[in-house]
């Protein structure tokens, strides 16, 4: 999952659907004698100035990262005035830097970059900006705002916070309730932020105690192995928060193998398999907290707006914001149908 070392910026509402919807109206393609403020409620998708967008992300070795690529590609296809130059993607920082430098040399109009390592790729972001190519920094943030024109990404702290509040509300009538946590990679800042948000939310529920925490690796295999360990160590608990729906597939296998159904589970990210299980409502998984890959579609909208010199429809400013933090909505059986089309495989 993506690493985010900063939670700066504008907080939009329910973003798995809304991230793209809010930004679809990024452009105003009509030329009037006087400048038009961005106060039109409807999106304007009329073709405008041709824009070539370079897109560089890490290797799609995870369902969420693959969904990032798919969202970028499908969004670009919506616009007849957008040409998308997309790299192969790599988790090797040197290789990704080379791919981005190739896009810079091609003189693309705007760059969208989801760095494999924000710190390591900061210099190439600076290089693009100094070459006059504005950069949309997607999710994993560069070390300095000078390396990007706009940052857009998810809210890791908010994921934990909303997961904790959801579980807290479900268990608030139960005395001496116990919860456990299946985290992601502990060497990632995002994992620490998700745990911090979860712990902060639970402070509002004195009847609830977190009794165990295990870190997995965002894979099906690690999720299954670490969940099996938790189940063996904890004979009785009331709720589980799992940071990632991909590793959640493995966690659910371990839960089924153990024959356990005496607790509720909340996932994270927004995988299609999670949505389907929530809708079916026949197991322990009752909700998931979003980290929407639709942010890549919104990044294309922002890049198009930058390339055409426009702002965001529905906002008064003539420029796009410097930073946009997406909201980590909770999806359960009451609203899962709304989000089903955004689920990633």
Can you identify the CATH homologous superfamily of domain 156-290?
Answer: Response regulator (3.40.50.2300)
The third-level CATH classification (topology) of the domain covering 10-153+292-326 is Rossmann fold (3.40.50)
Map tokens 């799609």 to a residue.
Answer: 60
Given the DSSP bridges, would you call strands 150-153 and 177-183 parallel, antiparallel or unpaired?
Answer: unpaired
The pLDDT of residue 58: 86
- Rounded Cα distance between 99 and 257, Å, is 44
The structure tokens listed for 315 are 């906002």
pLDDT in tens, 234-246: 999 999 999 999 9
> Same topology for domains 10-153+292-326 and 156-290, yes or no?
yes
How would you classify the pairing of strands 208-215 and 264-269?
unpaired
Q: What phi and psi, each to the nearest 5 degrees, are found at residue 285?
A: -75, 115
Give 67-110 pLDDT, tens digit per residue.
999 999 999 999 999 999 999 989 899 999 999 999 999 999 99
What whole-number distance in Å separates Cα of residue 78 and Cα of residue 86?
Answer: 16
In the predicted model, what is the mean pLDDT of the chain?
88
Listed by start position, the domains of the chain span: 10-153+292-326, 156-290
Q: What integer pLDDT is reported at residue 46 of this predicted model? A: 82
Both tokens of 108, joined, read 């693309």
State the pTM of this model.
0.83
Query: In sequence order, which ranges of the chain are alpha helices (DSSP H)?
Result: 15-24, 63-77, 93-105, 122-130, 156-171, 189-202, 220-233, 245-258, 272-280, 295-308, 336-339
Contact 4, 139 (CB under 8 A): yes
Residue 316 buriedness (CB in 10 A; 0-12 / 13-18 / 19+)? exposed
Query: What residues contact residue 334 under an 8 Å CB cut-off, 6+ apart?
Result: none
CA distance 247 to 43: 37
Using alpha carbons, select from 45, 18, 52 the residue that is nearest to residue 152: 18
**Which residues partner with 85 through β-bridges?**
54
Which one is predicted more confidently, 14 or 136?
136
- How are beta strands 135-138 and 150-153 bridged, if at all? parallel
- Distances from the Cα of 289 to the Cαs of 184, 188, 241, in angstroms? 14, 19, 10
Taking only the tens place, the pLDDT of each residue in 161-217 is 999 999 999 999 999 999 999 999 998 889 999 999 999 999 999 999 999 999 999
Tokens of 18: 């809304």
Average pLDDT of the residues in 278-287 = 97
CA distance 6 to 336: 29
């Amino acid at each position: 999952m993506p690493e985010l070392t900063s939670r700066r910026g504008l907080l939009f509402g329910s973003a798995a659907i809304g991230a793209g919807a809010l930004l679809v109206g990024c452009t105003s393609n009509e030329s009037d004698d006087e400048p038009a403020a961005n106060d039109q409620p409807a999106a304007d998708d009329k073709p405008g100035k041709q824009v070539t967008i370079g897109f560089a992300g890490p290797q799609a070795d995870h369902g969420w990262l693959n969904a990032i690529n798919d969202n970028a590609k499908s969004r670009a296809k919506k616009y007849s005035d957008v040409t998308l130059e997309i790299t192969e993607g790599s988790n090797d920082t040197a290789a990704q830097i080379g791919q981005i430098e190739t896009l810079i040399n091609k003189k693309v109009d705007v760059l969208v970059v989801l760095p494999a390592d924000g710190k390591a790729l900061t210099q190439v972001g600076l290089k693009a900006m100094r070459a006059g190519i504005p950069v949309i920094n997607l999710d994993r943030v560069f070390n300095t705002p000078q390396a990007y024109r706009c940052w857009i990404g998810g809210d890791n702290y908010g994921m934990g916070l909303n997961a904790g509040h959801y579980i807290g509300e479900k268990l608030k009538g139960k005395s001496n309730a116990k919860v456990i946590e299946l985290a992601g990679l502990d060497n990632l800042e995002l994992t620490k932020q998700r745990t911090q948000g979860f712990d902060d939310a639970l402070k509002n529920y004195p009847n609830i105690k977190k009794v165990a925490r295990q870190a997995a690796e965002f894979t099906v295999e690690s999720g299954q192995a670490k969940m099996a360990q938790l189940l063996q160590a904890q004979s009785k608990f009331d709720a589980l928060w799992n940071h990632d729906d991909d590793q959640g597939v493995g966690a659910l296998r371990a839960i089924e193998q153990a024959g356990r159904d005496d607790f509720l589970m909340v996932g994270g990210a927004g995988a299609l398999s999670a949505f389907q299980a929530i809708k079916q409502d026949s197991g322990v998984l009752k909700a998931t907290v979003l980290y929407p890959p639709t942010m890549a579609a919104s990044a294309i909208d922002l890049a198009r707006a930058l390339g055409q010199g426009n702002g965001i429809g529905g906002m008064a400013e003539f420029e796009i914001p410097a930073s946009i933090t997406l909201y980590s909505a909770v999806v359960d059986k009451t609203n899962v149908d709304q989000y089903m089309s955004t689920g990633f495989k």
